[in-house]
Amino acid sequence: AQSVTQLDSQVPVFEEAPVELRCNYSSSVSVYLFWYVQYPNQGLQLLLKYLSGSTLVKGINGFEAEFNKSQTSFHLRKPSVHISDTAEYFCAVILLSGGYNKLIFGAGTRLAVHP
């Protein structure tokens, strides 16, 4: 069965420190990979995506992620976080079969940035 595992439910970090949010997936078919952010009482916003090509992808708000096929991982990183980055972050995949672009999400990681 296909699944997405976010290894940390909560990540506390101080402002201006680097952060990494971890994501692993399992799938028997090729996938597209995504990170979404959800601010309180809001919907989901796409941070970045990997479809093909370079395994290092850059997104909005200074975030980047690296696709590692051998480790089936897609970890999200930011070199220096701000208070405004406090939010819930979701890793997701689309299976490249079926053609319906169904997103499969992880359980989320709550990033809490402290001053």
Q: Which positions lie near other proteins, rule CB under 8 A?
A: 4, 6, 32, 36, 41-46, 49, 51, 90, 92, 94, 96, 98-108
- Name which of 70 and 101 has its Cβ closer to other proteins: 101
Residue 80: CB minimum distance to other proteins, A: 27
Cα gap 30→8, rounded to integer Å: 24
- Name which of 30 and 55 has its Cβ closer to other proteins: 30
- Name which of 98 and 115 has its Cβ closer to other proteins: 98
Strands (DSSP E) contained in the chain are 3-6, 10-14, 19-21, 23-26, 31-38, 44-50, 56-58, 64-68, 73-78, 87-95, 103-105, 109-114
Residue 20: CB minimum distance to other proteins, A: 19
Residue 79: CB minimum distance to other proteins, A: 26
Residue 73: CB minimum distance to other proteins, A: 17
- Name which of 2 and 72 has its Cβ closer to other proteins: 2
In eight-state DSSP terms, residue 114 is E
Exposure string of 90-99, with b = 16+ CB inside 10 Å and e = fewer, is bbbbbbeeee
